[in-house]
Amino acid sequence: MTGPVLADSVRFAGDGVEILDRRVYPFEVRWVRCATSEDVAVAIERMVTQSSGPLFAATAGMVLGAREARHEPPERAAARLCAVGARLVATRPTNNHIRDAVHAVLSATAGAGLAGDELVAAVVAAARAHDDGYRARSAALGGHAASLLADGARVLTHCWADAFLIGTVRAAQAAGKRLEFVCTETRPYLQGARLTAATLVEMGYRPTLITDGMVASALSDGLADVALTAADRVTLDGHVINKVGTLGVALAASAFGVPFYALVDAPDPQAPTAADVVIERRDGDEVLHTLGRRTAAEGVRGHYPAFDVTPPQLVTRIVTERGVYQPDRVKESL
């Protein structure tokens, strides 16, 4: 099925990998070429790709790592591939997509004594299987999320929910549901303004854009009647970790009686509580700029926790690939 540009943003090209540069999309459709696994890691760190994009970048990076190790004997090849995986996992610690992608590839090759073309073929197969599985899980999740949205629902989004949002919209369209969207701009990279809004336009909508500081006012005024966000990670006890600002959305939704739904393919079995999740803290200088231009006075310092934690009591339901759950029962989806 053809779909929005951002639905397929990592591709192999010759001996390398090309990653759609989400920092400049939709104003430019620019691809960043990565010739090595290290190039992929740097691209992820520099926000060339975000949300579920790093999952596909990580599996591609593992393929490049296998190619780089193809002339090594089996033990050294395996060690080198593990090192590539560790480097990729370290790029962005909060979302577990990269960790799980690397684990899937390494698990498929561990102890097999592979080298050369056999190693590359095994990594390619494992990477493809993981990518395809994620897309299938996102489609299933989208069907469950769409079931929560009434015909005519006005949906507030925050940041960029990527495959989860695309899956939800496709399922709602298949069910004949009419939806309206209100998107937060999402500082400092404006993913909501550039990625979410642009993708919704591609899919046939005319979303309304608001600044991050307008969420409470928008819900108070009745501009939206449901809040729907992705989750970079969900803990077994129902805490939702997502792009910073999500907590504010949930607080406003709670204050004005608006349901707040969080989308994640599955809770993380390695994170029983929020204390088990590393919150990425990026360079505070990033919030002093927008789209490459400084917006703060000289002498100002920035502070940038890239994610925040929304407690389960502020979450109406968590939607996973297996269904819809109350936050305190989400671990039953595993």
Cβ–Cβ under 8 Å, residues 249 and 227: yes
| Identity of the amino acid at 118 | E
Q: Which residues are catalytic?
A: 232
Secondary structure element (H or E) that encloses residue 208, with its range: strand 208-210
Residue with tokens 């299938």: 136
If DSSP codes are grouped into helix, strand and coil, which group holds residue 293? strand
Which residue in 221, 227, 245 sits closest to 307, CA to CA?
245
* Cα–Cα distance list, 198 to 100, 191, 213 (Å): 29, 10, 21
**CB of 334 within 8 A of CB of 159?**
no
Alpha helices in 148-224 (DSSP H): 163-174, 191, 197-202, 215-220
Place of tokens 């449901």: 226
Tell me if 72 sits within 8 A of 43, measured CB to CB. no
d(CA 74, CA 290): 47
8 Å CB contact between 179 and 69: no
Structure tokens at 251: 């607080």
C-alpha to C-alpha distance for 93 and 109, rounded to whole angstroms: 23
Q: How many CB atoms lie within 10 A of CB 8?
A: 12
Structure tokens at 280: 């990425």
Look at the block and give the residue holding tokens 């004005």.
256
